[in-house]
Amino acid sequence: MSKNISKLSGRIGLKNNLFQKISERSLKSKNGEGMKEIAEEYNLGVSTIHGAESFYEFLRPEHRAKKAFICNGSACMCAGTQEKLKDKLETKLGKGKVGAMFCLGYCYENRAFHYDGENYAGEDINKIDQIIKGEEIKQNKLFSKSFASTSFLMDDKLDNLNQFKSLLEKYLKIDGKEIIKNLLESNLCGRGGAAFPTGMKWDFCGQQKAKKKYVVCNADEGDSGAFSDRYLLEDQPLKVLFGMIICGYVIGGDEGVLYIRGEYPKSIESVNGCINELKKQKLLGENILGTKFNFNINICIGQGAYICGEETALIASIEGRRAEVDVRPPFPTVEGLYKKPTVVNNVETLAAATGILINGSKKFSAIGNKKSAGTKLVCLDSFFKNPGVYEIDMGTPMKKIFHEIGGGFKESVKALQIGGPLGGVVPVELAEKLNLDFQEFTKAGFMLGHGSIVSIPKDFNMVEYIHHLFEFTAEESCGKCFPGRLGSYRGKEMFDQALSKKNKIPIKLLNELLTTMKKGCLCALCGAIPVPISNILKYFGDEMKNDIST
Ligand SMILES: Cc1cc2nc3c(=O)[nH]c(=O)nc-3n(C[C@H](O)[C@H](O)[C@H](O)COP(=O)(O)O)c2cc1C
């Protein structure tokens, strides 16, 4: 069935994208008017259209009834700033008028909220009257700095269109196979979490015999603690877009989609502006720089669903289907968007590919080791004395990252959640023994993932932290697989009861639940959440002993 929906919506394709159409119509309508017309236009059932619309948080009537949204990500929760913030906003906007959004990417400042299409954080709440009046306020800039031996992501070598044009001229004269060779030699692995070799992915897709192929840039950065993709989209957008274009050239694709979360309005503005400039300069479109190569980039704006970061759900979302995860294989490189061969890459991966083409693959592979090569962006939250986003050599000791680059902690911190909500929860002393290295983290029972760091303060109740993880999974699960859909709710219930002191946590049942989720879930959202939960039980179980029954 989903094959048919893919084909039917693919018939109209990206020019008149079904998902964007559903989103725009839904945001304008009060009671779902217009959906019947969309169904007719796309030759689909109304229930299919409704199924897609009802999947997204931002398209739900109860969400649209709110005026402002506080960030309910893990970093703002640990900082303990959000209750007061909500009270202040409710005083101004009315009781019940303040909702929540999952991680706005201001983990370095906290007190983050969304109002009227813009994000605010830190001291901004003190200017709420000006904000409500629609006045522009001066906001803090995200602090960024490269500590890398060679900078591939933060340097200024692709800051303007002249540099962009020269680089494109250079590479459109080179055979795609040579570019793949470069990437393979660099040992670049995907930065979106799974660390799959990027050159290999482009090569697989390039080898597919198909008239149509796509490049998808995954800019759905929803991991709490991560704001590195946001940094790249706002400060280095040309590096990301160059990566997409060159990937299209290498694989023989002529269309790209940048799927960007709706929670990042400034990033959307930034990449939109760049795409328009590139089109004006004819660096995007037909016969780029007088060659036979055509390439266009479309933007798809997410509507508040964390699971859309998972590549098969992301593809379903672009196609206008319910954003449910699909079984792999076939992998997107063989059967991706509209069932055509597709490369899905993370924002940082694409920017790194560009950095490699600028600076050379040898310099990249010389840093770190074969499986964890080059430089990586690492995000430090507000518990660090120097919060911000940093470019760091792979292999750098975490101790150096925490204490030299990050300046140490402002207050006592007992654990770090590294790599988003699905990443491990690492006791600080243990994290200090590791290096910035994907394999080292995995071997120690954690996950480096996207390299975001959320600090858990000494006095934070770990029962509450596990509750937060189960609640997040229950809300964000796509609902397709049984262990994920039910397991996350049952887990949340156990911790609801423990927090309200109605019942203790039945540890045997909890361990069985975690094993079932780990083994039986379709994707890593519900399948990997047992990792941080098991870490907490292992390292901080003692703190929770009064809430656990054997
Ligand atoms: C639940 C879940 C959420 C994900 N979220 C993201 C995301 O926000 N951004 C991203 O690039 N990859 C995300 N991924 C990984 C993607 O599925 C995919 O592996 C990645 O986009 C591939 O790009 P890369 O090879 O450049 O890393 C997520 C995976 C899972 C299971």
Q: Consecutive sets of 10 residues in the chain, 550 residues long: mean pLDDT of each?
A: 74 87 92 88 92 96 95 98 98 96 97 97 97 96 98 97 98 97 98 95 98 98 97 98 98 98 98 98 97 98 97 97 95 96 98 98 97 98 98 98 98 97 97 97 94 97 98 96 96 97 97 97 95 97 94
Coil vs helix vs strand at 434 = coil
pTM, to two decimals: 0.97
Tell me, yes or no, whether 77 and 164 share the same domain. Answer: no
Q: Is residue 139 part of a domain?
A: no
Reading the block at residue 322, the tokens are 């319910």
The H or E element that residue 258 is part of is strand 255-260
Residue 53's φ and ψ, nearest 5 degrees, are: -60, -45
Tell me how far apart the alpha carbons of residues 336 and 278 are, in angstroms, rounded to a whole number.
26
pLDDT of residue 172: 98
Q: Is residue 138 part of a domain?
A: no
CA of residue 310 to ligand 1 center, whole Å: 5
The domain boundary residue, chosen from 79, 105, 133: 133
Of 410, 367, 411, 343, which is closest to residue 206 (Cα–Cα)? 343
Dihedral sign, Cα of residue 180, residue 182, residue 184, residue 186: negative
Of 223, 226, 220, which is closest to residue 380 (Cα–Cα)? 226
Tell me, yes or no, whether 181 and 307 share the same domain. Answer: yes
Q: Look up the CATH number of the domain holding residue 421.
A: 3.10.20.600
Bridge partner residues of 298 (DSSP): 257
- Residue type, position 221, single letter: E
Reading the block at residue 238, the tokens are 């040309």
Tell me how far apart the alpha carbons of residues 353 and 248 are, in angstroms, rounded to a whole number.
13
Tell me, yes or no, whether 392 and 506 share the same domain. Answer: no
User: Considering only CA atoms, which residue is closest to atom 24 of ligand 1?
Assistant: 190
Tell me, yes or no, whether 49 and 86 share the same domain. Answer: no
Domain membership of residue 537 as a residue range: 462-549
Q: Is residue 140 part of a domain?
A: no
- Residue type, position 267, single letter: S
Tell me, yes or no, whether 479 and 443 share the same domain. Answer: no
Task: Identify the burial level of 66 via C-beta atoms within 10 angstroms of its C-beta, where 0-12 means exposed, 13-18 middle and 19 or more buried.
Answer: middle
pLDDT of residue 4: 80
pLDDT of residue 1: 59
pLDDT of residue 10: 72
The domain boundary residue, chosen from 306, 335, 365: 365
Residues touching ligand 1 (Cβ under 6 Å) are 190-194, 196, 218, 220-222, 307, 309-311, 344-346, 349, 523-525
Tell me, yes or no, whether 126 and 181 share the same domain. Answer: no
β-bridge pairing 296-301 and 118-120: unpaired
Q: Is residue 526 part of a domain?
A: yes
Cis amide prior to 329 (ω within 30 degrees):
yes
Tell me, yes or no, whether 84 and 160 share the same domain. Answer: no
Tell me, yes or no, whether 349 and 381 share the same domain. Answer: no
Tell me, yes or no, whether 306 and 423 share the same domain. Answer: no
Tell me, yes or no, whether 210 and 275 share the same domain. Answer: yes
Coil vs helix vs strand at 189 = strand
**Helix extents (H) in 121-216:** 128-133, 161-172, 176-186, 198-207
User: Considering only CA atoms, which residue is closest to atom 20 of ligand 1?
Assistant: 192
Q: Is residue 160 part of a domain?
A: yes
The ligand 1 atom at the shortest distance from the C-alpha of residue 476 is: 1
Q: Look up the CATH number of the domain holding residue 538.
A: 1.20.1440.230
In testing the pocket of ligand 1, which one of 183, 200, 311, 354 has its CB within 8 Å of the most ligand atoms?
311
Tell me, yes or no, whether 190 and 265 share the same domain. Answer: yes
Dump the DSSP string for 3-25. HHHHHHHHHHTTTT-HHHHHHHH
pLDDT of residue 19: 96
CA of residue 345 to ligand 1 center, whole Å: 8
Tell me, yes or no, whether 530 and 492 share the same domain. Answer: yes
The domain boundary residue, chosen from 422, 457, 492: 457
The H or E element that residue 262 is part of is none
The ligand 1 atom at the shortest distance from the C-alpha of residue 528 is: 31
Tell me how far apart the alpha carbons of residues 129 and 174 are, in angstroms, rounded to a whole number.
56
Bridge partner residues of 426 (DSSP): 416
Bridge partner residues of 138 (DSSP): none
Q: Quote the number of domains for the chain.
A: 5
Residue 19's φ and ψ, nearest 5 degrees, are: -65, -45
Residue 178's φ and ψ, nearest 5 degrees, are: -65, -40
